[in-house]
Structure 1
Amino acid sequence: MGEQIDGAIYYNTDHYIVEAKWLGGAVEAERMTNFDGKVRRRRKNALGLFVSINGFSNGGKELFKRGTSFITMDGHDLFCVLEARIRLDDLISAKLLHANRTGDCYFPASEMHI
């Protein structure tokens, strides 16, 4: 009856609820909306990190382009970290800064000038 979460991390004074998906395709808007609800029902200062190896649908990205409770990370972002092109903490910080400035959940490493 309770909500399942895949994990939780504490980073730079913030608590993140983590959702991780390894699906055959991009995560659709409905799953993103469900995760947004999970994050919003937590404590007031909780944030979300949605990880999807195959990315996020255009509809989902568009839905959370102007206001979001979470940031996203896809397979390309993870490979950038694993290949030491960007540190994980720097990646999270850049994504969070982008979300705070724009309201957009999606900011891929490929757009970060790394």
Structure 2
Amino acid sequence: MRGRGYVLDFSDPGFSDFFAAELDVDIDDPIYAENGGSKGKRLRCFLQKVDGATAARTLQALWEHRAEFLARTNQPDPVVNAEGRFLSLIARLMDRAEGGTGGQAPVPATDWRLQAELKDGLIAIASLPPQERGYEFEAFLRRSFDAAGLAAREPFRNLGEQIDGSFLLGHETYLLEAKWTASPIGVADLHGFHGKLEQKASWARGLFVSYNGFSEQRLAAFGPGKRLICMDGRDLFDALDRSIPLAAVLERKVRRAAETGRAFIPVSELFASAPTREPR
């Protein structure tokens, strides 16, 4: 079990997402929990294990997050001479890196080969005959969700209605509707899927994936207060191209939907500052 072990303003999922998206590190790997599973203990263990350059890069990313948090909340820095002390620490770490002493390569958060295969597979679906695209798109989504550890389930039928699958996000069950149509999805399809959700348990939620997106005007007419979030083909490609974990994308969509009432917010807006990352 993870303890509280505060690190800045991170929640446990936010801490994991930060390391994956910003540093391509799986901070949840057991190798970093040798002294305990709290965020603070995993961070200390990680910094003790990795080389100086990786430690410096990690602390730089955390420093930038800290600075953004203080600016956003209009708080004064509670640490005397924080920046000077930080820069001194970075200098010592870089000296350690130049000296070539100690450290292991961090455990990567990204399977680059699988990521490349998924991105190529998504692109390839567009060239298939129309009757094959829907099935291949569902298969692609199941593979993507399985790769993200989201416990995807095969399509199933319930009293004659087709559900394209389901998955677990955190402790919540999400039903999946996937569409590959020539035109953006309109409000009728969204209402139809939401009607299915309303016939299920009150805790069931939904993800509607439309490869060719959604009609903005009709999406606005769908209104807030619904139990589903939306994703399009561009979202899938951007997440793969920018090495943003699928679980992190979905979690941020859920949070922003709760905050704004918008069922669809694109990855490009949710992760506006996330850079494209290449294999190292």
Does TM, scored on the shorter chain, surpass 0.5? Answer: yes
Deviates most, 22-31 or 53-62: 53-62
Higher strand content, 1 or 2: 1
Please name the residue that 2:37 is paired with: none
Please name the residue that 1:11 is paired with: 169
Please name the residue that 1:48 is paired with: 206
Whether 1:26 and 2:184 are equivalent positions in the alignment is: yes
Q: Please report how far the alpha carbon of residue 30 of structure 1 lies from its aligned counterpart in structure 2 after TM superposition.
A: 0.5
Runs of 4+ residues deviating >3 angstroms = none
Measured in 1, the distance between the counterparts of 2:262 and 2:198 equals: 16
Deviates most, 102-111 or 48-57: 102-111
The answer on whether the counterparts of 1:19 and 1:51 sit within 8 Å (CA) in structure 2 is yes
Match of 2:260 among 78, 81, 102: 102
The answer on whether the counterparts of 1:67 and 1:103 sit within 8 Å (CA) in structure 2 is yes
After superposition, give the CA deviation of every residue in 1:9-28 in whole Å (9 maximum; x if it has no partner).
11100100000000011011
Please name the residue that 1:75 is paired with: 233
Measured in 2, the distance between the counterparts of 1:48 and 1:100 equals: 14
After superposition, give the CA deviation of every residue in 1:68-92 in whole Å (9 maximum; x if it has no partner).
2100000111001221441101100
User: SS where residue 19 of structure 1 aligns?
Assistant: strand
Amino acid aligned to 1:3: E
Deviates most, 54-63 or 12-21: 54-63
Measured in 1, the distance between the counterparts of 2:255 and 2:222 equals: 15
* Residues paired across the two proteins, number: 114
The answer on whether the counterparts of 2:176 and 2:209 sit within 8 Å (CA) in structure 1 is yes
Measured in 1, the distance between the counterparts of 2:248 and 2:260 equals: 18
**Structure 2 gap segments, 5+ residues each:** 1-158, 275-280
Measured in 1, the distance between the counterparts of 2:165 and 2:254 equals: 18
Q: Which has the larger radius of gyration?
A: 2
The answer on whether the counterparts of 2:239 and 2:267 sit within 8 Å (CA) in structure 1 is no
After superposition, give the CA deviation of every residue in 1:38-76 in whole Å (9 maximum; x if it has no partner).
111110000000000000112331023422210000011
Match of 2:195 among 37, 56, 59: 37
Deviates most, 58-67 or 92-101: 58-67
Please give the root-mean-square deviation of Cα atoms over the aligned residues, in Å.
Answer: 1.3
**Structure 1 gap segments, 5+ residues each:** none
The answer on whether the counterparts of 1:65 and 1:106 sit within 8 Å (CA) in structure 2 is no
Q: Please report how far the alpha carbon of residue 111 of structure 1 lies from its aligned counterpart in structure 2 after TM superposition.
A: 0.7
Where relative contact order (Cα < 8 A, 6+ residues apart) is larger, the structure is: 1
Write out aligned runs for 1:50-65 (5 A): 50-65=208-223
Give TM-score scaled by structure 1 length: 0.92
User: SS where residue 4 of structure 1 aligns?
Assistant: strand
User: SS where residue 71 of structure 1 aligns?
Assistant: strand
Identity across aligned pairs (percent)? 38
The answer on whether the counterparts of 2:197 and 2:206 sit within 8 Å (CA) in structure 1 is yes
Higher helix content, 1 or 2: 2
Give TM-score scaled by structure 2 length: 0.39
